[in-house]
Every structure is written in structure tokens, then in C-alpha cells.
Amino acid sequence: MPRYKLTIEYDGGPFVGWQRQNNGYSVQQALEDAVFLMSGERVVVHGAGRTDAGVHARGQVAHIDLTRDWPLHKIHGALNQHVKPHPVCVLNVEQVGLDFEARFSAVRRHYLYIIDNRRAPPALDRDRVWHVSRDIDAEAMHEAAQLLVGRHDFTTFRAAECQANSPVRTLDVLDVKRKGDHVEVQTNALSYLHNQVRSLVGSLEHVGSGRWTAVDLRAALQAKDRARCGVVAPARGLYLMQVDY
């Protein structure tokens, strides 16, 4: 039974998230339906990250098992044809060994969050950025963000319904940079808690807008109390950019 690795891009806006759910259509379901139309097989598309409703991806990774060998170009073309009209695109297809697992073989996941920081609201990027009209200081955000890099108990910055066994995670990178009207927050780590990135970005925005200092951010982290988290940034500004193996 051959296994195939898929690299996927999608607009998360129309979906209930990556994972198949009962309350709406998911990215996983769109791809599974496309595989069925291609092959006649009902398979599970195993993803590297379970992005929430509204979160986008430029480099999600998944794997599928099929009962026979398919030419890679046929899988690539057929999936992109059959997944229409949903805003999902298979960027690349590779055949991999059965020891490859999209989720469990991953060693690092890269996320990007985009804040649109200008007075006028976005028109073209309305559903792909978080618009913040007040001035924010990206340098202050970056300096404060370094307090969160490393291994910490991130209880303050995870969703109340998070099902992870432990709130301890290790952030390898948390960088904040201004690029014109955009303030970009880049992070990578082996794994994240539910809503962790969006919670961190919302709290860093408090620092950038002057409502918090770096000391306040550190105190929120050390409190290990969800009530001490700043606003949770909206899903539309978050992108899964890349998964390393």
C-alpha cells in the first residue's frame, strides 16, 4: 500500500477548520472527497496540524494511503481538479515510506501572523489579516516576545478547551517585524497548544499598543491563569507556513 505526502495551501475562511467535524465542511473532508472522486477509495487524509476555523495554510502537510501505485503527476492534477470549487490547492505530491507520518514525523511547525496596522481598513486582504488601526510598536513587541521563547508553562495562553496533556511547550522562535503597514509575527516550535499562537499575538499587541509592558507580559505568563491572557487575535490573520521533517 503506497503512501503519499501532500503539501497543501488553503484559505481557511469557508471551513470549520482542518479536521472533519459534524458542524460544517472541513479542509480534511474536501480533500477526502477529492481522493474519492479520483480513486473511488474512502481514505483518511492525515494532516500535520489541526488548524482552527478561519486559519489559512501555505504549507500544510498531509499523507494518504492508496491501494495501488499512482503516477505522482496524476494524483497532483486529479486532486486539484476534484477539490474545486473549494479554495484548496495541492502544491506538491511525493511518494514516501510507510514510516512517514504527517503529524508524528514532524520536527517543527512554522506559523505566521499578519497584523494590518494602518488607519484605513483593508479591502483586498480583509479576510486574511487582523486590522489594528491604532499605532503599534513592533520593536517593543519583539523585545517582549523574547521572554516567551524557550520552554514554559503556557497555561495562560491556551484555550480553556485545550485537550493537551501538558501546558508545557518550547517555542524555538518568536519574532516580530514591521514590513510597511504590516506587523508580522513569526514563530516555530515542535508543537503548540490550542489557540496558543493567537493568544500570544493578542497579548503582544497589548504591548505594541502601550496597554501592557514587557513586565506585564511576563507576569501573565508566570500567572499560569487563562484569565490573565490578553485578547485572542482573530483566526483570519494566522497562516501555517511550513512543516519540517
Quote the cell numbers at residue 84: 474545486
Annotated catalytic residue, options 11, 52, 65, 175? 52
Quote the cell numbers at residue 85: 470549487
- Burial grade of 182 (CB within 10 A; 0-12, 13-18, 19 or more): middle
User: Which residues of 27-167 form beta strands (DSSP E)?
Assistant: 46-47, 56-65, 88-96, 108-116, 130-131, 150-153
Cβ neighbours of residue 56 closer than 8 Å, sequence gap 6 or more: 10, 11, 12, 13, 128, 236, 238, 239, 240
Longest pairwise C-alpha distance within the chain:
58
- Please indicate whether residue 11 is annotated as part of the active site: no
Strand 150-153 versus strand 130-131 pairing type: unpaired
Quote the cell numbers at residue 129: 489579516
Catalytic sites, residue numbers: 52
